[in-house]
Amino acid sequence: MKNRAIVPNRLFLAYQWHIYRSAYEKVCAELHKTYPIYFYAVGRPAGQPAEALFEKIKAVLLSATSAIFDASRGNANVSLEYGLAHFVPNLPTFLLIDQHVLPNQINAGTPIISDLAGSTSNRWNIQDVSTLKEHLAAIAENHAYTKRFKRYCRDRGFRAGQFRVPLKVIRVFDEREQMLRRELVDQLQAEWRSKPLKDIEKLLADMHKGGLITITRGREWASKAFIA
């Protein structure tokens, strides 16, 4: 764990899946259109063994720059993930809770609830998801990778929506640790059918130079790309 491989724009996200999934997915989808960070929530596909899910959670936690836990209703799975996070070195954690949760709906004995005792600044309103968006946007805004991304755009004099061009490249890496450079180019060509290959190549080289992504040296099917 001491030498964990971190994905620089990844944040682990845990919440009670059945109740809060739609709210979190809506808010995160909106934020992913503006910020270069990625809120990674680990779901459980139908038929997936519990052991496989546990290994997936550990892998994402180990690769994250920070972790966000929604403690609403004292969910057992979220509490387990919160406990695992304490074993990950140098992993900042953020706690949120739905303000409409009644005292008898949570287990006051769980560690995650104890850590929330007396806190008011981390509450959000499920009846107004803009309150959730405010919390997550604040975390995204202050993230180191967001600051690096904004500096990159500022140094190149980007205006209005021009930031969406390098952001689209970054979004290709969501839930991926790395990929072949050729695969990255192919995906971008599929999305930008009118953009010449030389322009895509130029953009990737500039993002590499600007410290947003890393592209390793090598032949076409050996060179790899990942978030820097």
Checking if the pLDDT of 166 tops 70, the result is yes
Task: Give the three-class secondary structure for 53.
Answer: helix
Instruction: Give the domain ranges of the chain.
Output: 10-141, 147-227
Q: Which CATH architecture has domain 147-227?
A: Orthogonal Bundle (1.10)
Q: For the domain 10-141, what is the CATH superfamily, name and number? A: Toll/interleukin-1 receptor homology (TIR) domain (3.40.50.10140)
Contact 187, 173 (CB under 8 A): no
pLDDT of residue 47: 67
Are 91 and 67 in contact by the 8 Å Cβ rule? The answer is: yes
Amino acid letter for position 28: C
Residue 97: pLDDT band with limits 50, 70, 90: confident
Tally Cβ neighbours within 10 Å of residue 93: 15
Calculate the average pLDDT of the chain. Answer: 89
Residue range 143-162, pLDDT digits in tens: 999 999 999 999 999 998 99
CA distance 75 to 70: 9
Question: Contact at 8 Å (CB) between 106 and 3?
Answer: no
Q: What is the DSSP letter of 210?
A: T
Confidence at residue 107, expressed as pLDDT on a 0 to 100 scale: 55
Query: Amino acid identity of 17?
Result: W
